[in-house]
């Protein structure tokens, strides 16, 4: 029984491996590109929505930003509120009525639909991510003369990105799976290969097994990479203590004071006259 | 007229119907160290925030070298770059090292080349005794150290005037001294400073001028020795008696 299953899987893979792999390739390309474009849309929407407006701004700016907010709201509600499979049909078969034969390419339509969907979800995540950053960060940036764009680019977004990272990962994983609905307009993703192959030779279960393993591999690798990126973004929890005026010694890597570490010895050597305070977490012995 | 760096004229600020600042008038000249004291809620922070335009004044003028900055005649960014601000809660950029905190403004706002900006940053970090910690992130250093970095960040922009909003209020008592010491040094070197503080010792001994605020107005101002030792206004006397 079990050996039969293995034999079937092996035969199937031997015969159609290339086709499965091609499906994986299409799924991957679509999911990655659409997630990237979706994030870009999300960031633009999120930033536009959080531009501060005050009563003293001129009427044109206030009207413009008000309009932008309404448009983004409508966009988010429409695309979050309807099935992606329907959106695909809607655009693929609908747009030619208005623009002639613009959307002949299945790839283009798939990419647009998945990107716009991701964008709708990301817009909210980015907005939330920006709002979650302490307003003191913005004030600090403004106080040294940064404008809104600089404040966003150098101070707020790098911090917001860390909070948003899990959502980006979620969206990517959802996209890996949900691009399968694009079969409706004839996109040949990984899942559509299953329908094609099993329909041809009636090996439903072995093929489904290949699909399961394939999808899991794609998503697990993504989860793993994501954790890694998140860790990178969090920054290291130690820092190099720089030498004072002269190069006293090559500084090694010392843990942060909060961890209670060899740090104390170092501050004794060249921090003493500069530094009179007390670090939290320092051992008592250091505070004579 | 333009011997004053900063002139505040008939400044008032409403939050809704609540008039928090009422017709404030005062001047700051080169080298002045002005301490602003007063009860909680009297409008000290709001005054500082209006001065560097973090709040928009409801009416009145703020003249910087004789030019009004509230009307949009001068670029907000350029003006803010010349008026440094040190906050009670530090507001260091959490995503940057101590050194980068002091470089970013010079590089992006003043458009100074990175190498030169780094030199300036290192100079001022040295001045506040933070040279060993330039690679640390804000969350890895103590409160007193954060505030010293915040001062170095403001100084790195080479401001003409430095505003402090209760720079030691969020600190554990043992760290207050290190920050006040840095501020004292700056005062002695001739930095023009406007300091909201509850440290009466600093107001009395370091500042050249004291402003006492109550309910959104300047109730009394003048020489620190006179005001702090022999206040004319009974409210000032009552306020100061609480610190004895
Ligand atoms: N953004 C705001 N919106 C509404 N009211 C505000 C706002 N900021 C300050 N206020 C009010 O303005 C008044 C003055 O506040 P401000 O923070 O300037 O006082 P302060 O003198 O700095 O007090 P403290 O010593 O506690 O810091 C207070 O009554 C406060 O409630
Ligand atoms: Mg205050």
Q: Does residue A195 surpass a pLDDT of 90? A: no
Whether A141 and A154 have beta carbons less than 8 Å apart is answered as yes
> Among A271, A133, A259, A238, which Cα is nearest to B145's?
A271
Distance B50 CA to ligand 1 centre (A): 12
Tens digits of residue pLDDT in A4-61: 888 888 888 888 889 999 999 999 999 999 999 999 999 999 988 888 877 667 888 8
Residue B244 pLDDT = 66
Q: Does residue B12 surpass a pLDDT of 90? A: yes
pTM for the model: 0.81
Tens digits of residue pLDDT in B16-70: 999 999 999 999 999 999 999 999 999 999 999 999 999 989 999 999 998 899 8
- Locate the chain A residue with the closest alpha carbon to B102: A144
Q: Side-chain half-sphere of A53: how many Cα atoms within 13 Å?
A: 17
Kindly determine whether residue B89 and residue A136, on different chains, have CB atoms separated by under 8 Å: yes
Mean pLDDT check: name the lowest of A53-57, B92-96, B135-139, B179-183.
A53-57
Whether A154 and A73 have beta carbons less than 8 Å apart is answered as no
Place of tokens 């401001």: B159
Indicate the pLDDT class of residue A235, thresholds 50, 70 and 90. Answer: confident
Place of tokens 């159609």: A16
| Phi, psi dihedral angles at B16 (to 5 degrees) | 65, -125
Residue among B22, B44, B163 to mutate when testing ligand 1 (max atoms within 8 A of CB): B44
Indicate the pLDDT class of residue B2, thresholds 50, 70 and 90. Answer: very low
Candidate from A139, A239, A277 with C-beta closest to B136: A239
Residues near ligand 1 with C-beta < 6 Å? B 15, 20, 38, 40-46
Percent of chain A at pLDDT above 70? 82
Question: How many helices (H) and strands (E) would you count in chain A?
Answer: 10, 2
Kindly determine whether residue B80 and residue A145, on different chains, have CB atoms separated by under 8 Å: yes
Distance B194 CA to ligand 2 centre (A): 13
Indicate the pLDDT class of residue B72, thresholds 50, 70 and 90. Answer: low
Q: Does residue B227 surpass a pLDDT of 60? A: yes
With a CB cutoff of 8 Å and minimum separation 6, the contacts of A119 are A37, A38, A39, A40, A41, A42, A45, A75, A79
- Looking at all shown ligands, the one closest to residue B44's CA atom is 1
Whether B27 and B73 have beta carbons less than 8 Å apart is answered as no
- For helices A106-131 and A2-49, angle between their N-to-C axes, nearest 10 degrees: 60
Tens digits of residue pLDDT in B115-154: 999 999 999 999 999 999 999 999 999 999 999 999 999 9
Spell out the alpha helix ranges (H) of B22-97.
44-51, 76-82
Indicate the pLDDT class of residue B73, thresholds 50, 70 and 90. Answer: low
Residue B242 pLDDT = 85
Query: Complex ipTM above 0.85?
Result: yes
Candidate from A143, A159, A240 with C-beta closest to B52: A143
């Amino acid at each position: 029984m079990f050996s039969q299953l293995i034999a079937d899987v092996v035969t199937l893979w031997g015969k159609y491996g290339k086709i499965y792999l091609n499906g994986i390739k299409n799924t991957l390309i679509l999911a990655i590109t659409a997630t990237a474009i979706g994030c870009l849309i999300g960031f633009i929407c999120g930033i536009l929505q959080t531009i501060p407006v005050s009563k003293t701004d001129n009427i044109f700016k206030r009207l413009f930003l008000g309009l932008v907010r309404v448009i983004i709201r409508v966009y988010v509600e429409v695309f979050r509120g309807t099935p992606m499979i329907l959106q695909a049909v809607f655009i693929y078969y609908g747009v030619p009525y208005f623009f002639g034969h613009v959307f002949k390419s299945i790839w283009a339509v798939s990419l647009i639909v998945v990107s716009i969907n991701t964008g709708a979800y990301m817009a909210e995540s980015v907005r939330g991510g920006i709002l979650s950053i302490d307003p003191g960060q913005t004030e600090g940036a403004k106080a040294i003369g940064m404008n809104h764009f600089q404040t966003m680019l150098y101070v707020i977004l790098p911090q917001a990105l860390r909070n948003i990272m899990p959502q980006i990962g979620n969206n990517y994983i959802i996209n890996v799976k949900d691009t399968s609905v694009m079969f409706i307009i004839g996109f040949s993703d990984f899942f559509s290969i299953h329908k094609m192959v099993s329909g041809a030779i009636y090996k439903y279960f072995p093929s489904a097994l290949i699909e399961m393993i394939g999808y899991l591999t794609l998503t697990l690798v993504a989860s793993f990479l994501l954790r890694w990126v998140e860790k990178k973004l969090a920054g290291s929890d130690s820092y190099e203590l720089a030498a004072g005026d002269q190069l006293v010694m090559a500084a090694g890597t010392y843990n942060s004071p909060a961890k209670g570490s060899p740090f104390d010895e170092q501050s004794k050597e060249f921090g003493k006259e500069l530094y009179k305070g007390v670090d939290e977490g320092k051992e008592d012995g250091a505070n004579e | 007229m333009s011997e004053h760096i900063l002139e505040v004229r008939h400044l008032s600020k409403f939050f809704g119907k609540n008039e928090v600042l009422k017709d404030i008038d005062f001047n700051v000249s080169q080298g002045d160290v002005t301490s602003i004291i007063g009860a909680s809620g009297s409008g000290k922070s709001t005054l500082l925030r209006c001065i560097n335009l973090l709040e928009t004044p409801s009416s009145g003028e703020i003249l910087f070298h004789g030019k009004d900055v509230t009307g949009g005649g001068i670029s907000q960014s350029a003006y803010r770059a010349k008026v440094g601000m040190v906050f009670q809660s530090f507001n260091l950029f959490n995503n940057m090292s101590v050194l980068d905190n002091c470089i970013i403004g010079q590089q992006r706002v003043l458009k100074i080349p990175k190498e030169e900006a780094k030199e300036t940053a290192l100079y001022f970090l040295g001045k506040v005794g933070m040279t060993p910690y330039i690679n640390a992130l804000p969350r890895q250093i103590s409160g007193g150290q954060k505030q010293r970095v915040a001062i170095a960040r403001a100084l790195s922009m080479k401001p003409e005037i430095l505003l402090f909003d209760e720079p030691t209020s969020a600190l554990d008592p043992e760290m207050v001294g290190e920050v006040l010491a840095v501020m004292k040094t700056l005062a002695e070197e001739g930095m023009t400073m406007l300091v909201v503080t509850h440290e009466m010792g600093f107001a009395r001994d370091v500042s050249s001028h004291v402003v006492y605020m109550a309910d959104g107005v300047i109730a009394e101002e003048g020489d620190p020795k006179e005001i702090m030792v022999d206040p004319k206004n009974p409210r000032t006397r009552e306020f100061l008696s609480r610190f004895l």
